[in-house]
Amino acid sequence: MDEHRNFYGRLKGKALKPAQKRDLDHLLPDLAVPAVSRADNPDRSPLDMAALTKGQPLWLEIGFGGGEHLVHQAAANPDVTFVGVEPYVNGMAMLLGKIRRAGLTNIRLHLGDARDLMDVLPAQSVAKAFLLYPDPWPKARHHRRRFVTQDHLVPLHGVMQAGASLRIATDIEDYVRQALQEVPKAGFDWTAQGPGDWRAPWDDWLSTRYEQKALREGRTPHYLTFIRRP
């Protein structure tokens, strides 16, 4: 894999507020998944899942943005351990504030590249995964940077359990096209039986700020569910 071909954009935005800086300094170290970075785990040894999840199912959200959906799901599923991955510092700071205010204890975090995490997650350890409004990389020459390429989907397939669901939400029609083309190649089946299955959100869905922006700008959300083949 070309490790310099990032599927995400900028890493930091506007200046953080003092409370956000405190959360990054004091809360994130306690919630961070250990031994993910290559510096801390150069041998890429698998994570200790018993220590990470304490026997609970593991759900993974790749690129959680402002964290609204992740907090919503974690509050609704207290018997699940969630791992949220986000390289954007401002998004991580926003999520940490939400976790603190909600008093949630079932979320672990990785500030960085999802590929590094997938390197060290044990095979078939993830029971559900979410890819919600990922960076669309709209220019044709950048489509290879999208997450829905084999470089990313094959490792994701490896860490997901047989029968586990992968949810993808996007408002970009060409992203839908690429997802429907590439995700099945990586070992997933699309579950849709009719238009309502991709036009209507999931029953437990919480609309994110990115979706609200898409709706304001006249773009149509698509909700795709895939199941990992054995």
> Contacts by 174-180 with C-beta closer than 8 Å and gap 24+?
174/136, 174/138, 174/143, 175/134, 175/136, 175/146, 175/148, 176/222, 176/224, 178/143, 178/146, 178/148, 179/148, 179/224, 180/224
- The dihedral built from the CA positions of residue 176, 189, 110 and 42, taken in this order, carries a sign that is negative
Residues annotated as catalytic (active site), given as ranges: 135
Among 155, 193, 26, 51, smallest CA distance to 166 is for 155
Say which residue the tokens 């690129």 belong to: 63
Asked if residue 168 lies in contact with residue 132, where contact means CB atoms within 8 angstroms, the answer is yes
Cα separation, 225 vs 202, in Å, equals: 9
